[in-house]
Chains A and B, each alone.
Chain A
């Protein structure tokens, strides 16, 4: 792999929950020791349940949140500590599409202004040139020019997400962060948007950080997948390997929950049902965060945190089942 476009090392995001008179201030560690790379033009999907910290990762990468520790390099530059004007200047390189297209567009602005705003703010275009470019962007995402003077409330969810994408690619970013960008849409609209994203990637060579809880969607679009649990990445690797040979028990459980569009296969499949809920990030369990629900739990899991171990076929998993360095760890044949 060439030098990564985005490189995240040991990212940690902690929220302070302000206490009251009788409640102490508590720390919520939403993201804990997360590292990953994204190569130019590559799509990395981050998957996990709600509360696993995936949206927090997106917001920290976008520098909409202050990471409490760790480093973020974009295009070789350290952007972790940038603030104010310096941060504004690197913004064009990374843009974001938000989950809810109903709240991410300013209701008081017409579409021409919504889509043209990034160009205006960064002084890239004005006047007739601006109008021409906005028109081009709208056409790029499959919307006609006559939409330009309309307001967001006049559009459907799918159309709004197209508008949000047009706005996000206006500055020709190198990285697009998609935070559950298709989750709020119905299935047929989802497919249209996913196809649009595929087209944009091949045309413009944008890399995607694709945040989703929907493995079915991820399988279509991702080159690589990172699985998060309680603020940590428990497994990461090439999409093909993750979907065909998941190494971490949590990934296995997630995959077994994805419905197969064939009733016969679906009925005969073995579902791995995890007991209980994801533990509160306010009181994460000791040792491996997954040990409270893991079907293969061993004694060592309750006390020690497994390190990332390389897996055959690419990527790594943080699980003692694969960690040959620990006594009692048996390497499963799968």
Chain B
């Protein structure tokens, strides 16, 4: 290699994996907007007590079921509470619930998935048959059964959702781990004398992580939707706490008097779930391996 070429290479040198990911992610416009929206929403939820125009629990029985106005942007509910403030406070519950469910799904899905994929044989068979049985259950029935057994509370509902989502994480990890374990670089690691534990930590885990991020984003949306459904049915958030799903559930009773009551929390659910999906899509494209060999 000539001096000049070497110099050139040095200039364009080293781009860390993170920077490469960021460069490619920046090209994913919709995903960027989705991420921006989610960050704003999270900040709004976090600082709700300071941002919200009214206290979400203060009742004003003189002004019930009002339509949107300059005083009450989203109108008022059946007890005269400000819907805009309530929607913002409900974002805390809804986001937290989605986070809980995904975390639970990760904890019960990922380790056995990796184990099944790496151990193979009867271990794999046992874990997968158990997973099949879990997946064969109608999801809503299972969720209702779990909530019925543990008692209605948001955390219990999210445990149910987490359990329901875990098989997908399990299967994803199993498949990815199996594929990575057969890569030549894993065989190469064995040939230089790496121990089994070293291979798993240094070679397999770093290479199974990226598909996981995509799935986490998509499942945050799914969990939020599931939470909305369960809360709508009264199996999730319990008063005085309120999530978006619970708001829709309560507002539903007054749909003929004040249709706007369900529109805003409903819209919040739709837009947020969509944002999680779009973000997941963008992550997949930015992390995707198939476009990695751009040269």
Q: A149-B14, A150-B13 are in contact. Are A167 and B184 (CB under 8 A)?
A: no
Partner of A153, one of B188, B189, B198, B293: B293
Residue A299, interface by CB 8 Å: no
By a CB distance below 8 angstroms, the chain A residues around B153 are: none
Q: Are A103 and B185 in contact (CB under 8 A)?
A: yes
Contact across chains for A117 and B14 when beta carbons are under 8 A apart: no
Beta-carbon contact of B10 and A107 below 8 Å: no
Whether the pair B292, A153 counts as a contact (CB closer than 8 A) is yes
Cα A146 to Cα B14 with chains together (Å) = 8
Asked if residues A98 and B193 are in contact (CB atoms below 8 Å), the reply is no
Which residues in B have their C-beta under 8 angstroms from that of A147? 13
Instruction: Tell me how far the C-beta of A271 lies from the nearest C-beta in chain B, rounded to whole angstroms.
Output: 35
Is the C-beta of A171 less than 8 angstroms from some C-beta in chain B? yes
- Docked-complex contact A95 and B185, CB < 8 angstroms: no
Question: Does A105 have its Cβ within 8 Å of any Cβ on chain B?
Answer: yes
Query: Assuming the A-B contacts A103-B184, A107-B292, A144-B6, are A171 and B189 also in contact, with contact meaning beta carbons closer than 8 angstroms in the complex?
Result: no
Q: Complex Cα distance A105/B192, Å? A: 12
CB atoms of B184 and A121 under 8 A apart = no
A268 within 8 A of B: no
Within 8 A of B (CB), among A201-253: none
A122: chain B residues at CB < 8 Å are 193
Query: How many Å from the CB of A119 to the closest CB on chain B?
Result: 10
User: Chain B 156-185 against A: per-residue CB contact (8 Å), 1 yes, 0 no?
Assistant: 000000000000000000000000000111
Chain A residues with Cβ under 8 A from B13's Cβ?
A: 146-147, 149-150
Interface residue tally on B, bucketed by range:
20 to 34
Query: Which of chain A's residues have a CB closer than 8 A to the CB of B191?
Result: 62, 64, 91, 95-96
Residues of B contacting A98 in the complex (Cβ-Cβ under 8 angstroms):
184, 187-188
Q: A118 on the interface (CB 8 Å rule)?
A: yes
Q: B293 to chain A: which residues have CB within 8 Å?
A: 153
* CB<8 Å pairs between A and B, sample of 29: A64-B187, A88-B193, A89-B193, A91-B191, A91-B192, A95-B192, A98-B184, A98-B187, A104-B184, A104-B188, A106-B203, A106-B206, A107-B207, A107-B292, A108-B206, A108-B207, A109-B202, A117-B202, A118-B192, A146-B10, A147-B13, A149-B16, A150-B15, A151-B15, A153-B292, A153-B295, A154-B14, A154-B15, A167-B192
- Interface set of B (CB-CB < 8 Å, partner A): 1, 6, 9-10, 13-17, 20, 183-185, 187-195, 198, 202-203, 206-207, 292-293, 295
